[in-house]
Amino acid sequence: MTITHLHKRLKQTSFESSTHEVILSLLVCADLIRNQLEKACLEFSITPNQYNILRILNGVYPEGHARCEISSRMLEKAPDITRLIDGLVTLGYVERCKSEQDKRLSVTKITEKGRRILQDIFPKMTETIQKLSTAYTEEECRLFIQLCDKLIVLDTEFQEGIR
């Protein structure tokens, strides 16, 4: 058996199964990536989830999205989406408007100030992602995408009650 960095990190010499080791590896790596992205966003006084909201809204600019649509597009599901949006409203990065089609519905739109902060953050996020990407070759990235996609499909099936 080869001792890996995961073994050292968790101070554990064996795992229940290879699948268990894979899941633990993914969790450790997700935490590492999240911490690096948090550092990049911290320089701009926002969280990675708020950055994600700005990115989502910028993608439909000048239109916006209802809170439920933003939530469905988030990279990480955030139960506190209203609080995240409230923080962005306070900073002047987004605004809430009434929907033209349904006056009961609130639509969140990115402001010009929000678009400017995205432009400011983008180089730092790109630099962070490039540093993280040096761990893998292009071929390894393609394989990793395929492997992760299997978990994403599984999650979709769980959500739809198929399994």
CATH number for position 64: 1.10.10.10
The domain total for the chain is: 1
Work out the percent of the chain whose per-residue pLDDT is above 70.
Answer: 96
Question: Is the pTM higher than 0.85?
Answer: no
SS3 string, 56-81, reads HHHHCCCCCEEHHHHHHHCCCCCCCH
Q: CA 73 to CA 112: how far, in whole Å?
A: 22
Band (pLDDT 50/70/90 cuts) for residue 163 is low
Q: CA 85 to CA 25: how far, in whole Å?
A: 32
Q: Is residue 19 part of a domain?
A: no
Q: Is residue 13 part of a domain?
A: no
Q: What are phi and psi for residue 149, nearest 5 degrees?
A: -60, -35
Residue 104 pLDDT exceeds 80: no
Burial environment of residue 28 by CB neighbours within 10 A (0 to 12, 13 to 18, 19 or more): middle
Whole domain around residue 96: which residue ranges?
A: 45-133
